[in-house]
Structure 1
């Protein structure tokens, strides 16, 4: 199974000037755990995750004043739609993160999460169980 089969194609993109509160509202409304941060001055898309917001708030930072720019991960591992789910899971395990931005060329076309991968693997396992009786 490939990343394209598991990824969410609803990609929330925000700018570096979005406040953490605004980013959190947008992520919550879409029921997603990460936003792709597009900064024209950066080398490529970055990612802001729910954990980044949680860490900032837990450290006593004001989510109405802190911006995505200060909390975005820019040293990002990107997946392609053609990666296998095993490759994506290995990259996540090696890097210690739960989301991968999926790029087609230089454009973000999706985000794949650990939850997405587990959901696909569980469904595949269930189908196999039903077929083999």
Structure 2
């Protein structure tokens, strides 16, 4: 069985909810990532993605230097533990209609898992199982 901890990204880039969208976009561009975990007092409270910026700021002609992250972030953020199975994490993504899930332990951010991470995790599981001649569970 494969767990979230096996495929999650551990180096999570975070942002304060009172930063501007311009700052968020610059941080995403510098790190070449599509989203940031919004953290307040050390706890994840939301998520802001490049799609959020496109749909909620750019397409509406808003000034990204004046719009705050908290104004467009997705909240509450979907979370799972590192010991969650990939199947259960996929269910969370489907139920909450998200491509990103924050991995937490005792309310602290441990990592992030995306739909792409899940896909690779499932492919790896099937590849290993087929080499052994068994069906994955």
Fold in common (TM above 0.5): yes
RMSD of the alignment, in Å? Answer: 1.9
| 104-113 vs 43-52, greater mean Cα deviation | 43-52
State how many pairs are aligned. 131
Partner Cα distance (1:12, 1:20) in 2? 15
| 1:104 and 2:98 aligned | no
Tell me the CA shift for residue 44 of structure 1.
Answer: 4.7
Q: CA deviation at 1:125?
A: 2.4
1:8 to partner: Cα distance: 0.5
Deviation at 1:129, TM superposition (A): 3.9
Shift of 1:84: 0.5
1:94 matched residue in structure 2: 95
Give the Cα separation in 1 of the matches to 2:13 and 2:44: 15
For the 8 Å contact 2:45–2:76, the answer to whether it is kept is no
CA positional deviation for 1:130: 4.4
The alpha-carbon deviation at position 119 of structure 1 amounts to 1.2
Residues 44 and 109 of structure 2 are in contact (CA less than 8 Å); yes or no, is this contact kept in structure 1?
A: no
Q: CA deviation at 1:32?
A: 2.1
What TM-score does the superposition give when structure 2 sets the normalisation length? 0.85
1:69 & 1:35 partners in 2: Cα distance?
Answer: 12
Deviation (angstroms), 1:113: 0.4
Cα distance in 1 for residues equivalent to 2:31 and 2:123: 23
What SS class does the counterpart of residue 120 from structure 1 fall into?
helix
**In structure 2, distance between residues paired with 1:119 and 1:44:** 25
**Unmatched 5+ residue regions in structure 2?**
none
Q: Gapped runs of 5+ residues in structure 1? A: none
1:8-54 Cα deviation digits (max 9, x unpaired)? 011111111222122122122222222111124xx852111222111
